[in-house]
A = this chain, B = another copy of it.
Amino acid sequence: MSDLLPNFLAGGWQTGTGAGTALRDPVLGNELVRVDASGMDLSAAFSFAREQGGAALRQMTYAQRSAMLGAAAKVLQANRDAYYDIATANSGTVKNDSAVDIDGGIYTLSTYVKLGEGLGERKFLLDGDAVRLGKDASFQSQHVLVPTRGVALLINAFNFPSWGLWEKAAPALLSGIPVIVKPATATAWLTQRMVKDVVDAGVLPVGALSVVCGSSAGLLDQLQPFDVVSFTGSADTAAIIRSHPSIVRHSVRVNIEADSLNSALLLPGEAAGSEAFDLLCKEVAREMTQKSGQKCTAIRRVFVPEGAYAAAAESISARLAKVTVGNPRNESVRMGALVSREQLVSVQEGLRALEGLAVLHDGKTHALVDADPAVACCVGPTLLGTQSADRADRVHDTEVFGPVATLMSYRDPAHALSLIRRGQGSLAVSVFASDIGRCAETATQLADLHGRVHVVTPDVAASHTGHGNVMPQSLHGGPGRAGGGEELGGLRALNFYHRRAAVQASSAVLAALSTSA
When C-beta atoms are compared, the residue in chain B nearest to A446 turns out to be B501
In the assembly, what is the distance between CA of A302 and CA of B420, in Å? Answer: 55
In the assembly, what is the distance between CA of A80 and CA of B475, in Å? Answer: 45
Query: A471 near B: Cβ within 8 Å?
Result: yes
Which residue in B448, B451, B454 is a CB contact (below 8 Å) of A147?
B448
Residues on B with beta carbons closer than 8 Å to the beta carbon of A509? 436, 439-440, 443, 455, 457
Residues on B with beta carbons closer than 8 Å to the beta carbon of A482? 251
In the assembly, what is the distance between CA of A459 and CA of B440, in Å? Answer: 52
* Distance (whole angstroms) from the CB of A402 to the closest CB of chain B: 24
Query: 8 Å CB contacts to B: which residues of A229-274?
Result: 235, 238-239, 242-243, 247-253, 256, 258
Cβ contact within 8 Å between B454 and A504: yes
In the assembly, what is the distance between CA of A493 and CA of B176, in Å? Answer: 26
When C-beta atoms are compared, the residue in chain B nearest to A137 turns out to be B463
Cβ contact within 8 Å between A480 and B250: yes
Residues on B with beta carbons closer than 8 Å to the beta carbon of A480? 225-226, 250-251
Query: A187 near B: Cβ within 8 Å?
Result: no
Cβ contact within 8 Å between A465 and B504: yes
Cβ contact within 8 Å between A471 and B133: yes
Known: A251-B481, A463-B138. A505 touches B439 (CB 8 A): yes
Query: 8 Å CB contacts to B: which residues of A446-479?
Result: 446-455, 457, 459-460, 463-465, 471, 473-475, 479
Query: A124 near B: Cβ within 8 Å?
Result: yes
Cβ contact within 8 Å between B508 and A452: no
Which residue in B258, B448, B499 is a CB contact (below 8 Å) of A447?
B499
Q: Report the count of interface residues on A (CB-CB < 8 A).
A: 87
In the assembly, what is the distance between CA of A489 and CA of B142, in Å? Answer: 10
Cβ contact within 8 Å between A479 and B424: no
Query: A139 near B: Cβ within 8 Å?
Result: yes
When C-beta atoms are compared, the residue in chain B nearest to A480 turns out to be B225
* Distance (whole angstroms) from the CB of A178 to the closest CB of chain B: 14
Which residue in B436, B483, B502 is a CB contact (below 8 Å) of A452?
B502
Cβ contact within 8 Å between B141 and A471: yes
Which residue in B252, B425, B440, B502 is a CB contact (below 8 Å) of A251?
B425
Best-buried of A143, A235, A425, A505 by chain B (most CB within 10 Å): A505
When C-beta atoms are compared, the residue in chain B nearest to A138 turns out to be B463
Cβ contact within 8 Å between B225 and A479: yes
Query: A39 near B: Cβ within 8 Å?
Result: no
Query: A503 near B: Cβ within 8 Å?
Result: yes
* Distance (whole angstroms) from the CB of A224 to the closest CB of chain B: 8
Cβ contact within 8 Å between B486 and A500: yes
* Distance (whole angstroms) from the CB of A131 to the closest CB of chain B: 5
Which residue in B132, B133, B463 is a CB contact (below 8 Å) of A136?
B463
Residues on B with beta carbons closer than 8 Å to the beta carbon of A510? 440
* Distance (whole angstroms) from the CB of A152 to the closest CB of chain B: 14
Best-buried of A144, A146, A465, A479 by chain B (most CB within 10 Å): A479
In the assembly, what is the distance between CA of A253 and CA of B483, in Å? Answer: 10
Cβ contact within 8 Å between B502 and A437: no
Query: A331 near B: Cβ within 8 Å?
Result: no
Residues on B with beta carbons closer than 8 Å to the beta carbon of A492? 143, 500
In the assembly, what is the distance between CA of A66 and CA of B96, in Å? Answer: 52
In the assembly, what is the distance between CA of A123 and CA of B425, in Å? Answer: 21
Residues on B with beta carbons closer than 8 Å to the beta carbon of A443? 503, 505, 509, 513
Q: Mark A359-374, 1 if CB is under 8 A from B, else 0.
A: 0000000000000000
* Distance (whole angstroms) from the CB of A513 to the closest CB of chain B: 4
Cβ contact within 8 Å between B504 and A471: yes
Query: 8 Å CB contacts to B: which residues of A143-174?
Result: 143-144, 146-149
In the assembly, what is the distance between CA of A87 and CA of B315, in Å? Answer: 70
Query: A484 near B: Cβ within 8 Å?
Result: yes
Which residue in B441, B489, B503 is a CB contact (below 8 Å) of A143?
B489
A interface residues with partner B (beta carbon < 8 Å): 123-124, 128, 131-134, 136, 138-139, 141, 143-144, 146-149, 225-226, 235, 238-239, 242-243, 247-253, 256, 258, 424-425, 436-437, 439-441, 443-444, 446-455, 457, 459-460, 463-465, 471, 473-475, 479-484, 486, 489-490, 492, 499-506, 508-510, 512-513, 516-517
**Other than the known A128-B490, A139-B460, A439-B512, what 10 A-B pairs have Cβ atoms closer than 8 Å?**
A124-B447, A143-B475, A225-B480, A251-B256, A251-B425, A253-B484, A452-B501, A453-B501, A457-B506, A459-B506
Pairs A-B, 7 closest by C-beta atoms: A225-B480, A251-B484, A474-B502, A455-B505, A440-B512, A447-B501, A243-B243
